[in-house]
Amino acid sequence: MADTYEKDLAQKSTLTLNDFIRVVGADNVSYKQQVSNVASALGITPHAIAENGDLNSITTIGLYYTPSTAVTASITNKPADLVSAFSMEVQKRGDYVNQIICDYAGTIYVRGQISSGWYSWQKLPTRSEIESTTGGVPIRKAGNVASGESFTIDISNILSQNEGFALVALNIGGNALIGVELLFLGRGTSKVKALLGTMSTSYYTATYSNNSTWTITNTSSSIMLYTAIISK
């Protein structure tokens, strides 16, 4: 009887309190088994993925896992670089299915399915990968320097003089505003241009060295605040 209840519930998109009572109140089943039946019906109990399994065929809402790297190696339609054992959550709304995989190292992969088929697996980048990327993720740098002091902008990861740049907003005087400037900095000694602002160039100097680094020096008598956005 409990097996029938469980199968019925597994077909339902939402569960009610009465559905829960039907399973827990089933006759001739131990309490432990009753709880297990409810958990399974709710999709809480993880299901082991069998050896040589196909992830394309797993579209029922629930939690799944591979018990070993050997099983992972045997299954098909997994992420290309996935080698360790993993857990997977399947989400579903109507005909739309999402699979979310997390391996033992914490690497996360996601993909979706619509009526025309599965999309490719997408691997979520880690924080270190985002911070070290050279492929278009901007890096922000901000701070302040006193009169006579400098700060640097490293653009060593910009691949050529025609790719990438830094935008640097300068504020002389802080709240007691004396002048502002927006600088464009590229890779090369001539790649500097004041885009807009009211600041006299006597307030700062911009020098380029080592084919990688801009040094901005505060030559005013007041504090300099700066914010730099480096596009790579």
Verify that 105 and 178 share a domain, yes or no.
Answer: no
Question: pLDDT of 3-61, one tens digit each?
Answer: 555 556 556 555 554 555 455 454 445 544 555 565 566 656 788 999 999 999 999 98
CB 158 within 8 A of CB 187: yes
Are 77 and 111 part of one and the same domain? Answer: yes
Tell me what pLDDT residue 99 has.
93
Instruction: Check residue 169 and give its pLDDT.
Output: 85
- CATH assignment at residue 187: 2.60.40
Alpha-carbon distance 143 to 53, whole Å? 54
Hey, which of 11-15, 114-118, 171-175 has the most confident mean pLDDT? 114-118
| CA–CA separation, 101 and 106 (whole Å) | 9
Q: Which pTM value belongs to this model?
A: 0.46
Residue 25 maps to a domain: yes
- pLDDT at residue 11, as a whole number: 60
Element holding 193 (H helix, E strand): strand 192-197
Q: Are residues 141 and 227 in the same domain?
A: yes
| C-alpha span between 144 and 204 (Å, rounded) | 13
Is residue 220 domain-shared with residue 168, that is, in the same domain? yes
Range of the domain at 202: 135-231
Residue 103 falls inside a structural domain: yes
Angle between helices 2-10 and 17-24 (to 10 degrees): 150
In a shared domain, residues 104 and 37? no
- The reply to whether 31 and 56 lie within a common domain is no
Structural domain includes residue 128? no
- Both 219 and 142 in a single domain? yes
C-alpha 176: how far from chain center: 40
Q: Structurally, how many domains does the chain consist of?
A: 3
| Strand partners for 88 | 64, 101
